[in-house]
Amino acid sequence: MKLDAQAWLEPTTGVSLRPSPNFNERPEGTDVSLLVIHNISLPPGQFGTPFVADLFLNQLDLNADPWFAENLQGLTVSAHFVIDRSGHITQFVACDKRAWHAGVSQHAGRKQCNDFSIGIELEGTDTLAYTDAQYDALAALTQCLRAHYPLTSVRGHCDIAPGRKTDPGEAFDWGHYAERAGWPVAALPPPRQDCNPYPSNN
């Protein structure tokens, strides 16, 4: 897995590029130091639909599901990457650009995490185990990103927006991911009660 000079993955088997209009420039001189892990599924709990990509491309038909009109109206969002249940990676925003995934957020005293982070969405929910293929793809992508950016921390969306966001949820196995991706312990989120990164069975 490789990033090109414009900070897009080289499209290979298992990687697609679908440029989203939902991005802007990072503040000048910003080091990309944080990786943020999310989950998403649209409608919630349904997998394999086109709706996540549609949302990030501003092409979502709000009438396709009653939940959409209630919850997604006027939303303009994106993430750099989505990893579906089969481990397929789709990139929506170049990593050098600022994607709109974190919202109101804070990390280590710095607000506006979108400025200095890369966002990865796992197709899933907080409570359903992620697939082996997703951990494989996430680990490979993480290693690729760590080779290009001075990433010093990885957090769940729940860690940078506590009380507002719960993803990637208790289903995400931080220990397994950290080992696969080669993260040092110091880079990982501290254990939290409402966003437990270390499941009790681990």
To Zn ion, the closest distance from the beta carbon of 13 in angstroms equals: 27
CA distance 169 to 124: 10
To Zn ion, the closest distance from the beta carbon of 197 in angstroms equals: 15
3-state helix, strand, coil in the chain (%, to 5): 25, 20, 55
Q: Which residues bind Zn ion (CB under 5 A)?
A: 38, 157, 167
CA distance 4 to 116: 19
DSSP 60: -
CA distance 57 to 31: 26
C-beta closer to Zn ion: residue 36 or 139: 36
CA distance 83 to 87: 6
C-beta closer to Zn ion: residue 26 or 38: 38
Q: Which of 121, 123, 170, 179 is catalytic?
A: 121
**Catalytic residue flag (residue 179):** no
To Zn ion, the closest distance from the beta carbon of 157 in angstroms equals: 3
Map tokens 């086109």 to a residue.
50
* Catalytically active residues, by annotation: 121
